Chains A and B, each alone.
Chain A
Amino acid sequence: MSFVRNLFFSLRRYRFLLRQLVLRDFKVKYKRSVLGVAWSLLYPLLTMSVLALVFSNVFRFSTPGVSYIAYLLIGLTWFNYFSEASNLCMSTIVANFPLINKVYVPKYIFPLSKCLFVGINFLLTLIPLYLVILLTGTGLCWQHLLLPYSFLCLFLFTLGMGFFLAAVSVFLRDMFYIYGIVLSLWMYLTPVMYDIDIITNRPLRFLMSLNPLYQLIRFARTVILSHATPSAAQFAGCAVPALLMLTLGAWVFKKKQDRFVYYM
């Protein structure tokens, strides 16, 4: 219990630092770019156009009954949040060594700030997503109000992964290479660009459905594309892996954080 209380106090004390770190990332990201924040909207639209062009015309992927473009964009938005944020988290401790070595700052604040920073970008990419939802005639429904639940679970899952990666990469720099490979494999194993039903091997399909990111994306697709309320199993499928990952990541990070300074 005292752990939670300490966390609460240090978050209160360092909330100004947290905001400054997020703000810094935002300012640095768009420095010296002419279009600035507009890139947050343009970039996902353009990548999605490329992918939609390739997959619907060259590979002839389609999702019967729903717009393939909307289907693809949901998967991409959710998956990109995870891959970008977790990737940024991984280098936070190593990159902030000079700082950690000079003054005391709670170290968890670095991965947390990255997850929040990419989270703001994520919210911005919802604008092109809703544009696509409207333009493709997918339409809206009251269940959209359930989507923040999926955002929250995605955030917690990514944060847990970020803690884990940030801690491990201090001791094992190979992680930077390994995780790059893991991410691209993960991307193809997650039904982002294709429908999971094209997998005909039943045991394999079952294994793939255990992927937490698939569960998170499926939740969003159920709401946006099918206009349906996700089942209780789907709600649990989002929250359980998120909380497990967060617990694991935070535990590893907390256990190892005092040893970070030795590995500069």
Chain B
Amino acid sequence: MELPMIRAQGLGMQFNLGVEKGFSLKQGFIDCFDSRKRAERKRHSDFWALRDVSFSVSRGEVVGLVGANGAGKSTLLKLVAGVLKPSAGTLTVRGSICPMIELGAGIDMELTARENIFLNAAVMGYSERFIRSKFDEIVAFSELEAFLDVPVRNFSSGMVARLAFSVATVVEPEILIVDEILSVGDLAFQAKSEEKMLQMIGGGTTVLYVSHSTASIRSLCSRVIWLEHGRIQGIGGADEICTLYENHALPCLHPGAAM
């Protein structure tokens, strides 16, 4: 049997919400004398964004993630992308990842579009040879040929988004992580970028896809994971889990279903 592309076992992610305050001398001084208070404060500020999450994704599967805001979807994506390290459990990811969580990581406003294509591609971990061979394709897709040597700070925000989208989607990754279908730019480019994303998702790669639109989850995903307060509430076929989730999230629209 082939090994799964993504495999999570008892995955947990703990955040310390009190960390925001940082370290203060006064607090540190008090803590020295009152360890009970310290333990109590720590318990209050510890927060599990994910708890006991186990699942696996095989090659070519398109798996959807649903759940309310703060259920832990983005945390899970960041764990798979390697941005976060799990605090508990194990996570194995095989293959190259293209994290489309947020675009434009590493765009430098002082540099030109041409320079940014190289910088941004480097940030995504692509090799120089790869990006040189794809350069024309990126430029053509972004429709920014006329502005290649203009510093990005003079771009409109839509143009920056188009540039970032074009660089990010030029790859053929083994695992694609998508946080909502990104459609950026003006109306024409939105249609084009959405089509490109759908094409990437449908292209036989392994996909982890977060969306609040159960309609698009139903049409794209073979399997769905439903997260609630950091725990898996349900995992299974797209139709079945989406219906359960809808009934849970929108009880007033389905009278009786929430009972």
- A contacts, CB < 8 Å to B: 13-14, 16-17, 19-21, 23-24, 27-28, 31, 98-105, 171-173, 258, 261-263
Taking A27-B111, A104-B82 as given, write out 13 further A-B residue pairs in contact, using a Cβ cutoff of 8 Å, ordered by the A residue number: A13-B127, A14-B122, A16-B122, A16-B126, A16-B131, A19-B122, A24-B108, A27-B110, A28-B110, A103-B101, A104-B81, A104-B99, A261-B83
A261–B81 touching, CB < 8 Å: no
Q: Which of chain B's residues 81-111 have a Cβ closer than 8 Å to chain A?
A: 81-85, 97, 99, 101-102, 105-106, 108, 110-111
Query: Which residue of the partner chain, among B15, B23, B115, B125, contacts A14 with CB atoms under 8 Å?
Result: B125
| Chain A residue with the shortest CB-CB distance to B124 | A103
| Bound CA–CA A172/B81 (angstroms) | 27
CB neighbours (8 Å) of B118 from chain A are: 20
B125–A17 touching, CB < 8 Å: yes
| Bound CA–CA A104/B85 (angstroms) | 11
Can you name 29 A-B residue pairings with CB atoms under 8 Å? A13-B125, A13-B127, A14-B122, A14-B125, A17-B125, A20-B123, A21-B119, A24-B115, A27-B110, A28-B108, A28-B110, A31-B110, A99-B106, A102-B99, A102-B102, A103-B99, A103-B105, A103-B125, A104-B81, A104-B82, A104-B83, A104-B99, A104-B125, A105-B123, A261-B83, A262-B15, A262-B19, A263-B19, A263-B22
Q: When each residue 119-160 of chain B gets 1 if its CB lies under 8 Å from chain A and 0 otherwise, what string results? A: 100111111100100000000000000000000000000000
Closest 6 CB pairs between A and B? A104-B82, A17-B122, A102-B105, A20-B122, A258-B85, A16-B128
CB neighbours (8 Å) of A101 from chain B are: 83
Known: A16-B122, A24-B115, A28-B110. A100 touches B83 (CB 8 A): yes
CB neighbours (8 Å) of A24 from chain B are: 108, 111, 115, 119
| Chain B residue with the shortest CB-CB distance to A103 | B105
| Bound CA–CA A262/B84 (angstroms) | 9
Interface size (B, Cβ < 8 Å)?
30
- Shortest Cβ gap from A59 to chain B (Å): 40
Query: Which residue of the partner chain, among B81, B97, B111, contacts A28 with CB atoms under 8 Å?
Result: B111
CB neighbours (8 Å) of B213 from chain A are: none
Q: When each residue 36-51 of chain B gets 1 if its CB lies under 8 Å from chain A and 0 otherwise, what string results? A: 0000000000000000
Known: A102-B99, A102-B101, A171-B23. A16 touches B127 (CB 8 A): yes
CB neighbours (8 Å) of A172 from chain B are: 23
CB neighbours (8 Å) of A173 from chain B are: 22
- Shortest Cβ gap from A170 to chain B (Å): 11
| A20, A171, A172: most-surrounded residue (chain B CB, <10 A) | A20
